[in-house]
Amino acid sequence: MPKKISYFRNRADKLLQELGRLTYDKCLICGRAYSCLHHFMPKSSCSALRYEWDNLIPICSSCHLGIHSNRGASLIGKIIGIKGQDWFDALEKKKIGYLKTNITYYNDVIKRLEKVTKKICQTN
């Protein structure tokens, strides 16, 4: 049975989080231990930025929960304060209304993430 697109998307997402673990050790907002990469522009509203490194924020579990709760607006403001208005404006310009995602697209993402992860592992 052929694999579904969700298999490839999930594989790419896991590789992305692994790359985050290899790259970061602390939360951008509070400095506590790194937990995951947070998509500043949500995956649900902007698939074009799903694997865009500039859209990924290293974050702890507490700040991540806060972003998805009533503290979200203040934490988002802190991220913009840290990263800068130019960063935010550039990210806004990178947003595309629609990105065709298919198995070929995800395979390309997987290959790119595996290559970067391998390079980081070789230097450590």
Question: For the residues 26-36, what does the mean pLDDT come to?
Answer: 97
What's the chain's average pLDDT?
Answer: 91
Q: Residue 14: its pLDDT value, please?
A: 96
For range 14-43, the mean pLDDT: 95
* pLDDT higher than threshold 80 for residue 12: yes
Q: Token digits for 102?
A: 């298919």
What average pLDDT does range 89-106 have in this prediction? 83
Give the per-residue pLDDT at 112.
Answer: 94
> Taking the model in full, what pTM does it have?
0.85
Q: Are 51 and 28 in contact (CB under 8 A)?
A: no
